[in-house]
Structure 1
Amino acid sequence: MAVQARQTVLLGNLLAGGARTLEQYCKRGGGGALARAHSMAPESLIEQIEASGLRGRGGAGFPTGRKWRAVAAEAASQKFVVANGDEGDPGAFSDRFLMEDDPFRLIEAMAIAAHAVGASRGVIYLRKEYPAAAQSLDSALREARSAGWLGDSFDIELTLGQGSYICGEETAMLNSIEERRPEVRPRPPQITAQGLFRKPTLVNNVETLCAVPWIVEHGGAAYAELGFSHSRGTKLLSLNSLFRRPGLYEVEFGIPLRSVVEDLGGGLHRGQLKALMVGGPLAGLLPPRLLDTPLGHEEMQALGAAVGHGGVIAFADDTSLAEIVEQVFRFGAYESCGKCTPCHLGTPVIERMFADGARRDLARYRDLIHALAATSLCGHGRGLAEFAHSLERHFAGELATCFA
């Protein structure tokens, strides 16, 4: 773990060895933001989040303050705050370490958010593949209740997912918490109005919430000084094992991808860089010639890529494009919830099309990609289509040879 930002917003406790007990957390300054938040009016808290420019770290990059304001504006007897800890992107592990080694930061952030939006109940939705995080959070929640951080006015429960990638999508996750089939809900209504159990619900990613205590303590303006353009603050990046220095890094938005690959990762320990996948398998592939692109939401979107959740997977030149496409669509097919026909039935066809020795039909491939983009309810099918579009945009020559 390392920090390449001017301010350590998220990794301070992890770099110091973790803060798994409330005593450790408070000795390192924890709890001060919650006390400060309780002395502030909810409107003032929301204004600080808006001023910070904080955007969702789970993938979509939606302005966090706008979500908070929408839930706060709802008149309801009960509201929820849900932390999305279903970190399912291959190659991403930042939320895991935050929940395992700094669980009270997440709890403090959720309590602050609850005060801001008027929520009385909270849920941490955790993927079952993180048993150490489950143990850490369960212990931390018990300590937080004993210390009076949680209680009658606001309490948090821990819910374990059952391994479905689609539960990273917020409406599928809410269905899972309700013990219903984890499939995507059509919208409207938005979950800020009718979310968990049809009550107004604030859903934020773990990394998003963990930035909140720092913002409350230092102010939204101080956070907005970090980063660049419309991407403010810091971002956690998970570098995969092909890098010479794999691991978890905290960087400011605006860092060039070349610095991520060469300075943080130290380059590859095998071969030459063929492609870079940032933000998960639904975020597209970028070629080495675009490594001078700054890490930012709009800047990545302009190239048909995304910041996403911050997993950074490098592919060396000994991996063929057909292998990458086959694996991405195998993952997409296996993890489809089955609600949308092109996603459920079309993705396995594309997977088989790129297997060794398979007959490949370019017209059918393009028809299936078009159907995924046009008819998918959620980002799973649309994201797979965006991945395919990035190949046509940046790897057209090698893609053409796949159909030769």
Structure 2
Amino acid sequence: MTSEFTSLGVSKWLAESLNAMKIYTPTAIQKACIPKILAGHDCIGGAKTGSGKTIAFGAPMLTKWSEDPMGIFGVILTPTRELALQIAEQFAALGASMNIRIAVVVGGEDIVKQAIQLQNRPHFVIATPGRLADHILNSGEDTVGGLRRVKYLVLDEADRLLSNSFGSDLERCFSILPAADKRQTMLFTATVTDAVRALKDKPVPESKPPVFVHEVESVDKVAIPEKLLTNYLFLPSYVKEAYLFSVLTHEDNKDSTAIVFVNRTHTAEVLRRTLRNLEVRVTSLHSEMPQSERTNSLHRFKAGAARVLIATDVASRGLDIPSVQLVINYDIPGDADDFVHRVGRTARAGRSGESISFVTEKDVERILSIEKRINKKMDKYEKISDNKVIKSSLKETSVAKREALMDMEKEGFGEKRKNNKRKHDQEKLVSTSKKSKGKK
């Protein structure tokens, strides 16, 4: 029987792997992009979260790789460590029957082990730009030389990678990769920004077919999944913890798997400890946690050992945790696109889900711009009343929060970040003064 994937040009062995993973029918973005990538086009793919973008770029790369498994075949750059690990898991599962070798090159892990992996020429390198740039700068030609001959480059969550925060690291990564006419480049994103669109207008070498751009159902219009309920709760900022506890323990939500998004690592840690003191099965994910803890946290949440994940935006991109039923925006993001990515963690692949945004007196402007972006008004969340919160949660939440803050102070939470910032500022000062002396 011919698989729908083999009719797109995917190798028979890979179609069998997809079959074994119970993936039988290509999604719209896979149907559109796989044949074009196999035909040699650079590709810009825009589709909402949960639509199968990883297989859209992974299937053609793995098909071509299996025909000629030389050196480092492809590099996939992604903005967060967790997303890099998730893509690596998918590639490992798809390529298991072909003895695929993958190196994950992200911050927070042993840099020497990574250098050895790169020296051994894995087939695919999945990396965050900062750590790969680090290796290019410091690890020597033996380690990074294999990157000079890659056939494919993928920017996953391209809108985020093309923002200013990754600029210099990306440039360093590109500096060692083959020129644009000697490799195939693919950009995938749930948010097709102007920076992403501008790339399609760049001149294409005569030796290459034109850039293929595919946006499913104009991503901007269908920003959030159809089966997602979007609600808001208007509340005073000083009792947010009590409202959160009330929502999470409400009869309708007490068994739901939930992600609670916050804007700062300090808030994430306060909430994790507060909820733990209130006997909620909770874990967290933020940039001040060591990488091993971040990985463990995610595993606990995926396995159901923790019911609630408190996270900064490191968890808003691309992470696929099928069981998430509820997303709470404890803090409203400053960028409406970040809201789209956050709520996209639920109601994935046709399932239903719910999001609740905590709106304080300071958030009204942000909510209006989010409603404009998603082309939809949010509904008022009616299950929690002020009286109920005051009666059932306020006192015990205040006590739990006070204990959490005292513990954090004792342990010196955030000191490492402050010290690193101080060190970074001093290094910057030294390098600036050296430059100015050199000019004299």
Taking structure 1 as the reference length, the TM-score comes to 0.31
- Higher Cα radius of gyration: 2
Taking structure 2 as the reference length, the TM-score comes to 0.29
